Amino acid sequence: MSFDPNQFSPMWEALPDSAKESLLGPPSKELGNMIGDIVHILGTPFRMIKIVSDEKVEQFAKRTKEKVSAIPDENRDSTKLPIAVKTIEDAKYSLNDEGMQEIFSNLIANSLNNTKNVDISIRFSTVLSQLSPKDALFLKKIHDAKYNNILTGKLIVKNGDGSHHPVTKIVFDTLNDNVFLGFEQSTDVLSSLGVIEVHKEAWLVSDEYNSEYQNIEELLRTSGVPNNSELEKGYISLTTFGQAFLKACLE
């Protein structure tokens, strides 16, 4: 499959001759330089209206060029250039954050590497463009978590009518000595985008998990909660889509 410049005719007309030659030549020819050129071109309107600085665009171009240039010649694959170009386009809105730059750069480079791009979808950059830096941080916590699972727990009080209300915030536990708060909104965002599945009325069962749930409950009970409160256990896992998305963006 060859790259068809007509798919991106406005961008194609704006490219310098050197970038056009790279696109139409052998896949391995100056691929990193070509990607850097496209970053500069697509970032120009945002630089002009001061949404993003020249420094941030240059930083992103350099970071992405280095990742693409590091792909071995035999693994460089131009068949998914449309995905790489769309990812660059979508990245414009996130260039002010270095963490987001890193993730977008990973996705661009991986889309051009035939050892990593088999499961990469054009939807990935759309999903990534909808994440805040905090959402991306939560995604990294899932990536770094043991088994890519995060345990959740909060204390609730049951009412006489069978309903219940929370008396604490949710605690997240990565199973590797990392317990944290404050990512409820990110959980909702990633769940709505199909990246994670939130299990609110189910929990993981093994001695390892049980001891972690006990630790969560002990931590929550240090904050002066009602005696009749009980732990509502849950966990967060990656969907099949989320597994491929996480691998493409963070590895």
CA distance 144 to 142: 5
How do the domains of the chain map onto residue ranges?
5-129, 138-245
| Mean pLDDT over each residue of the chain, to the nearest integer | 85
The helix/strand/coil state of 141 is helix
Please name which of 85, 129, 83, 122 lies closest in space to residue 103, comparing C-alpha atoms.
129
Could you tell me the pLDDT band of residue 23, with boundaries at 50, 70 and 90?
Answer: low
The helix/strand/coil state of 51 is coil
> What is residue 172's predicted lDDT score, i.e. its pLDDT?
97
Q: In sequence order, what DSSP letters do the residues of 61-110 get, joined into one string?
A: HHHHHHHHHTS-GGGB-GGGHHHHHHHHHHHGGGTT-HHHHHHHHHHHHH
The string of pLDDT tens digits covering residues 28-67 is 447 777 777 677 666 665 655 566 778 888 899 889 989 9
The string of pLDDT tens digits covering residues 204-238 is 998 999 999 999 999 999 988 999 999 999 999 99
Measured at the CA of 156, the angle between CA 152 and CA 160, to 5 degrees, comes to: 145
CA distance 92 to 85: 11
Please name which of 115, 23, 104 lies closest in space to residue 60, comparing C-alpha atoms.
104
CA distance 85 to 111: 10
